[in-house]
Structure 1
Amino acid sequence: MMSCGGDQRPQASAKPVFSEAQACAVVESVFGFKVSKIQPLPSYDDQNFHVCVSRAKHTTDGPMEYVLKISNTESSKNPDLIEVQSHIIMFLQAAGFPTASVCRTKGDNITHLMSVDGGSEIKSYLVRLLTYLPGRPIAEIPIRPQLLYEIGRLAAELDKTLEKFHHPKLRCLHRENFIWNLKNVPLLEKYLYALGQDRNREVVERVIQLFKDEVVTKLCHFRECINHGDLNDHNILIESRKSAFGDAVYHVSGVLDFDDMSYGYYVFEVAITIMYMMIESKDPIQVGGHVLAGFESIIPLTPVERGALFLLVCSRFCQSLVMAAYSCQLHPENKAYLMITAKTGWKHLQLMFDMGQKAVEEIWFNTAESYQSGISM
């Protein structure tokens, strides 16, 4: 059985580089589908393809669009973790969440480990095939308060539902050195060199120190749960429908990318969600209150959790911005995708820091409380 704990993921050689022809061959040989069209999808350190397949003779139902996921070499060393993540996707779908279906291989497995001769070494990659979910990423639309509220509610419902999830390898989600778990913010120090020396780095260093002083000591008071850990503006899909008044009303049609799941805390999930919903907003500071209101309609935070929320949101900005800068040095060809958060992220982090915790909290908490009184702001 493989070790599950120490997966510090950033690696220079981790990302797969399959061609479209190679990806086609995988779908056809491993999963038994005839590919009619394939194209790459943006990704962080794995490789994803949108795959259209031809219907088998004598069949008129079943999906025709899939996503082929090829895990990076580091993640592929941890098949137990990917198995647990896949079972979580299936569990959530059965519970009514808009997650993908996991397709089985011709050998009736949910993953397949394939080896590729890279010339100097043999590299192994875990591959999965998921159904393709409809909708557009939230990043593509202006987000209104009601949708922010629904996303906060979704985050809480997801964590609450996973309280009932059981699996013999569930311990794999205790990812002690996982760089994207919010409790591991101090691990960012080894990547700070990627920022150079400027005000951005000074703010990050200050956040890391505050995290050590004010959050690490409180972790034992936070309520633990399984976190999705990456409810960002590209991992939540939405579709629109016409309201009775004729305008477009958006609803969540898909939740993607469960690769960053780990044991964390309820307050981590809402902090991560707030940070990513701020990215695309023209009024970012207002975002937190609407997301918090939705989250707390399912899971009210305790006073100690609420007191850490500001610093946790700042900390997630730091994780995203530092690791994007670091990853750009490793994969300059993927810079456009890696720097999505950085376009507005530094500005939002500086704004939060300049305003200070008390002023930001006042806006968030007043907005959240306005929902309880029936007057959303």
Structure 2
Amino acid sequence: MSIKKESKPNLSLSQVTEITARLFGLTVSSIRPLPSYDDQNFHVMCVNAGEFVLKVMNSSDSENIKLLELQTHSMNFLQQNGLPSQTALCSVAGEMMTLEEIDCGYGLQKYLVRLLTYLPGTPVAKITCTPQILYELGKTAAMLNQVLLRMEHENLRVLQRENFIWSLSCVPMINDYLSVMDGDPMQLIVRGVIDQYQKRVVPKLPSFRKCINHGDMNDHNILVQQDGPSRYKISGILDFGDMSSGYFVFELAIAIMYMMIESLYPLEVGGPVIAGFESVVPLNSDEKDSLYLLVLSRFSQSLVYARSAVLQQPENEEYLMTTAKKGNRHLQLLWEKGKEEVEKVWFGGAANISMLIADSKPLPQTLKPK
């Protein structure tokens, strides 16, 4: 959900230059704003130091210091354990996070500032996804969850984010915002998804395996680089703002949903993502049975919360609706196809991919259905 307009930072380029020099002792040679939902991000090139991302959190989230400390620790922990995550650099005072009091047009407010490593690569949203990269993405999602289970930190309890609207444990909360869909026929589908979630998913929650979720492995938060003529490798995992305690199957559902957004064959995306995920964490029967509705639930969250966010930030509509515009069609497609037909495509595709991997055979170059 988007925060109030006055909470979002709006630093000028000169302010970014001054903060980078004062906090980190670096001289900026160029600055480029990066897209962001609620915060403000800048790509900064620094003299004799390379490139970084300066991340300025909104003033609302900046109040939750313990959660932000844990997110920063998690990024470093993943990088130390072989996953390509951004890490925070220490300031000249030896701190990885600094609260800065800044006037962005609404009076002095406190914004948490971090300087993060800049990871090379292209967002998945800007490439044509092959079964190979989708398999790698599913595998990476499962590995990330497994690694975070080993993490120790005194503030782990802050990840028990009750009433966190982006958690797939909180799907019924969509009802509180559903009025933004009044007059839209998609509202009926969203109501149907919520109803089915409560009837068919909630009773199965006790059998889901618990973990810590990244929670936002979308097509703009995963970076890739070419690894041969027709192969890619994952080079970056960004944005840990939606981390929470959850379940392995939640991460898989979120990954499938977002990988569908830009695909020419969205229904076929599920197979290779599932195959990659299950190469690390095989699903149990209840998790498999719930996956379809969990993907629809994430589409529903994205659609409704984006509409609500636009009411608060109309000037940012194009960015806020990036996922929802195409997700609208995909949600309708999945709903009309129905659980049985979608699962046939997803799990049949996963079995075929897994068989090819086991036999060391090349994967198909495209997702195009037979």
Same fold? TM cut 0.5: yes
| CA shift for structure 1 position 369 | 1.4
Distance in 1 separating the partners of 2:44 and 2:37? 19
Q: How many residues are paired up?
A: 359
Shift of 1:195: 2.2
- Paired with 2:288 and 2:105, the residues of 1 have a C-alpha distance of 53
Q: More displaced, 211-220 or 170-179?
A: 211-220
Instruction: Name the SS for the 1:360 alignment partner.
Output: helix
Residue 322, structure 1, aligned to residue 313, structure 2: no
Distance 1:168 1:358, change over 3 A: same
C-alpha distance in 1 between matches for 2:320 and 2:31: 23
Q: Does 1:331 align with 2:324?
A: no
Mapped contact 1:9–1:75 kept (Cα < 8 A): no
Q: 2:80 aligns with which of 94, 98, 102?
A: 94
| 1:50 equivalent in alignment to 2:28 | no
| Alignment partner, residue 24 of structure 1 | 17
**1:97 offset after TM fit, Å?**
0.9
Q: 2:91 aligned with 1:109, yes or no?
A: no
Kindly indicate whether residue 198 of structure 2 is the aligned counterpart of residue 212 of structure 1.
yes
Residues 187-217 of structure 1 show CA distances to partners (whole Å, capped at 9, x for unaligned) of 1112222223221111111111211222222
Counterpart residue number, 2:134: 148
Q: Distance in 2 between matches of 1:233 and 1:174?
A: 26
Conserved? CA contact 1:28–1:35, under 8 Å? yes
Corresponding position of 1:64: 50
1:9-20 equivalence runs, <5 A: 10-20=3-13
Q: Distance in 1 between matches of 2:15 and 2:106?
A: 19
- Tell me the CA shift for residue 13 of structure 1: 3.0
- Conservation of the 8 A alpha-carbon contact between 1:38 and 1:50: yes
Aligned 1:297-308 pairs, distance under 5 A: 297-308=279-290
Cα distance in structure 2, aligned partners of 1:94 and 1:204: 40
Write the distance in 2 (CA, Å) between the matches of 1:157 and 1:141. 23
* Contact persistence 1:15–1:47 (CA under 8 A): yes
The alpha-carbon deviation at position 67 of structure 1 amounts to 0.4
Is 1:180 the equivalent of 2:166? yes
Distance 1:191 1:11 in 2: 15
The percent of aligned pairs where both chains have the same amino acid is 48
Give per-residue Cα distances to partners, 1:4-46, cap 9 Å, x unaligned.
xxxx764343321111111221111111111111121001111
Deviation at 1:366, TM superposition (A): 0.8
- Cα distance in 1 for residues equivalent to 2:144 and 2:105: 43
Superposition deviation, residue 121 in structure 1: 4.3
**Cα distance, 1:374 vs. partner?**
2.7
Quote the Cα distance in structure 1 between the aligned partners of 2:354 and 2:27: 53
Given that residues 134 and 253 in structure 1 are in contact (C-alpha distance below 8 angstroms), is that contact kept between their aligned partners in structure 2? yes
Gaps of 5+ in 2: 358-362, 365-370
TM-score (norm. length: structure 1): 0.92
2:26 matched to 1:33?
yes
Contact 2:10 2:104 survives alignment (8 Å): no
- Contact in 1 for aligned 2:88/2:115 (Cα 8 Å): yes
Contact 2:132 2:231 in 1 (8 A): no
1:3 maps to none
| Preserved contact between residue 9 and residue 74 of structure 1 (Cα < 8 Å) | no
Aligned with 2:120: secondary structure?
Answer: coil
CA contact (8 A) 1:203 1:350 kept: yes
| Paired residue type of 1:50 | H
Contact 2:72 2:87 in 1 (8 A): no
- Quote the offset at 1:118 in angstroms: 5.6
Aligned residue type for 2:53: V
In structure 1, what is the Cα distance between the partners aligned to 2:133 and 2:258?
A: 14
> Is the 8 Å Cα contact of residues 272 and 313 (structure 1) preserved in structure 2?
yes
Partner of 1:343: 325
The aligned amino acid for 2:238 is: L
Q: What is the one-letter code of the residue matched to 1:182? A: L
1:74 alignment partner in structure 2: 60
What's 1:251 paired with?
Answer: 233
What secondary structure, in the 3-state scheme, does the structure 2 residue paired with 1:175 have?
Answer: coil
